[in-house]
Amino acid sequence: MRLSLFVSLIAFLSFSALAQFEEKVWSINECVSYAIENNIQVQQSLLQVQINRNNRQTAHWDYAPNLNASSGYNWNFGLNIDPVTNQISQNTRQTASLALTSNWVLYSGGRKYNNIYQANQDYLASLYDLEDAKNDISLNVASAFLQILLNREILAVAIEQERITQLQLNRTEKLVEAGSSPLGDQLQLEAQLARDNQNRIASENQLNISRLQLANFLQLEDPDNFRVNDPDISVPDAALVARQPGSIYTTAVENQPSIKGAESRVISSEYGVKSSFAGYLPTLSVIGQVSTSYSDQIFQATGTVQTQSVVGFVNGDQSQPVLSPSEVVIPTGFEEKPFGDQVNDNLNEFVGVNLSIPIFSRFQVRNNYQNSKLALEQSRLQLEQEKNNLRQTIYQAHADAKASYNSYLAAEKTVESSRESFKYAEERYEVGAINQFDFENAKNSLAVAQSEMIRAKYDYIFKIKVLEFYLTNQINL
């Protein structure tokens, strides 16, 4: 009983250890998610989003007044003017200053207001850029993933062709040994088996290369062990092929982040024009400051003397005065006035209003305003260019999808005809009605037709998924 429990425990631990080292099989969604999270282009777009978020926060807080503290400590030698006592002296002196200053811009021609809206649009445009980068990665991953599935099916065809040739060779070898078939048939089959084996190896290499390409695209540290699953992907119907490309473009132009990002940049440029125009307008601000100072040349008297003063007379007799002791500060020496006392005594406060009216700025304001209008025209042209690119891409994708669909239908018919032809050739070969050369031609024709149909199938699937992406802004397999 104990032995059986021990064996069961060992088996369980061994199974758990093997499960831990089992290769991970990636799905298309896992590949897309991993690529989006680790792709450098996406990370760069994300950093730009964070930069524009900080710029937006800066623009919002620009409405608040600033607050600055300043201080200084100076040593003066030779002839100088004490900044605290305002006295001319040749004594070496030490002075200090403390100040707290605030400036609040009340009106700047609407610059702050327009800067806030411009920063909001820049932030929104960076979000669309991030989404666009994620979409590009998703399309690239989907294309690479489908390439793996394509090569996998082509490899399956090559393996099947090699298997059929091997069966024919085994049968022919027996017939040659029995003297029913010439040795040349066996040699032809051996040569064909070698070619099939070469095709299988080439297909395996193509599959491995496509896996490595996707793994490298995902930037995996161990691409050699990268494996993907085999999802059940059915051939989509031709509803999108029958749809007019113009209607697809009308929907896509409302959904694609590249278009939305370009539109946000146009709005941002419009606010940029308004913000630069504020340079022609006056600026009104309020300034407040609290300051104090210290000098080692400010002294205070020291020392006290006991004295008596007459506070009255006894019974009005002036010869009998009534005396009262008191302390009178009579300078017997001088000492440097303490820093804290000077800070309180030298405290200075002021509030002021400043009005700045631009008259001549060496054409700086004018050129900034002209450049902002040119930037607006550039952003509008960029928006039109993005729309033109999207229109051309959709029309080209629609034409490609239509062509690939027709190619797939033709390839299906070719496979059906080639399969019937091979079946007929196989039956005739069994009874010796055709030679080995004709049989191999029929088999190879079937293999080529199957491979072409597989390529046409996945080409059509990807082209349809591209059209679906432009309609829904999503890629799904």
Each residue's pLDDT tens digit, 39-84: 888 999 999 999 999 999 999 999 999 999 999 988 878 777 766 6
User: Could you tell me the pLDDT band of residue 311, with boundaries at 50, 70 and 90?
Assistant: low
User: Could you tell me the pLDDT band of residue 426, with boundaries at 50, 70 and 90?
Assistant: confident
Decide if pLDDT at 382 tops 90: yes
Q: How far is Cα 44 from Cα 126, in angstroms, rounded to an integer?
A: 11
User: How many residues would you count in the chain?
Assistant: 477
How confident is the model over 141-169, as a mean pLDDT?
88
Q: Which pLDDT does position 436 carry in this prediction?
A: 72
Decide if pLDDT at 308 tops 80: no
Per the structure block, which two tokens stand in for 251?
A: 């929907």
Decide if pLDDT at 419 tops 60: yes
How confident is the model over 358-383, as a mean pLDDT?
94
Q: How far is Cα 473 from Cα 257, in angstroms, rounded to an integer?
A: 8
Lowest mean pLDDT segment, chosen from 19-33, 164-178, 247-261: 19-33
Residue 64: half-sphere exposure toward Cβ, Cα within 13 Å: 7
Tokens 């006991």 label which residue?
Answer: 306
Highest mean pLDDT among 83-87, 320-324, 434-438, 441-445: 441-445
Decide if pLDDT at 219 tops 90: no
Q: Which pLDDT does position 119 carry in this prediction?
A: 96
Supply angle C-alpha 37, 43, 48, rounded to 5. Answer: 140
Q: How far is Cα 151 from Cα 148, in angstroms, rounded to an integer?
A: 5
What are the beta bridge partners of residue 325? 308
Per the structure block, which two tokens stand in for 351?
A: 């509030």
What are the beta bridge partners of residue 76? 93
Decide if pLDDT at 101 tops 60: yes
Sheet with 66-76, strands from edge to edge, namely 66-76, 93-107, 283-295, 348-356
Q: Which pLDDT does position 372 carry in this prediction?
A: 95
User: Could you tell me the pLDDT band of residue 17, with boundaries at 50, 70 and 90?
Assistant: very low
How confident is the model over 430-454, as a mean pLDDT?
81
Read off the pLDDT of residues 172-201 as tens digits, 9 standing for 90 and up: 888 788 887 788 878 888 888 898 899 999
CA nearest to 65, candidates 351, 349, 277:
351
User: Could you tell me the pLDDT band of residue 21, with boundaries at 50, 70 and 90?
Assistant: very low
What are the beta bridge partners of residue 352? 287
Q: Which pLDDT does position 338 carry in this prediction?
A: 81
Average pLDDT, the chain: 84
Tokens 């007019």 label which residue?
Answer: 244
Read off the pLDDT of residues 331-351 as tens digits, 9 standing for 90 and up: 666 677 787 778 888 888 999
How confident is the model over 136-158, as a mean pLDDT?
89
Q: Per residue, what are the HEC states of 208-246? A: HHHHHHHHHHCCCCCHHHCEECCCCCCCCCCHHHHCCHH
Q: How far is Cα 219 from Cα 390, in angstroms, rounded to an integer?
A: 29
User: Could you tell me the pLDDT band of residue 386, with boundaries at 50, 70 and 90?
Assistant: very high
Q: Which pLDDT does position 118 carry in this prediction?
A: 96
CA nearest to 246, candidates 84, 21, 467, 19:
467
Per the structure block, which two tokens stand in for 42?
A: 């996406």
Helix or strand or coil: residue 146?
helix
User: Could you tell me the pLDDT band of residue 301, with boundaries at 50, 70 and 90?
Assistant: low
Q: How far is Cα 330 from Cα 347, in angstroms, rounded to an integer?
A: 27
Region for 405 from its dihedrals, namely left if φ exceeds 0, alpha if ψ lies in -120 to 50, beta otherwise: alpha
How confident is the model over 239-246, as a mean pLDDT?
87
Q: Which pLDDT does position 179 carry in this prediction?
A: 80
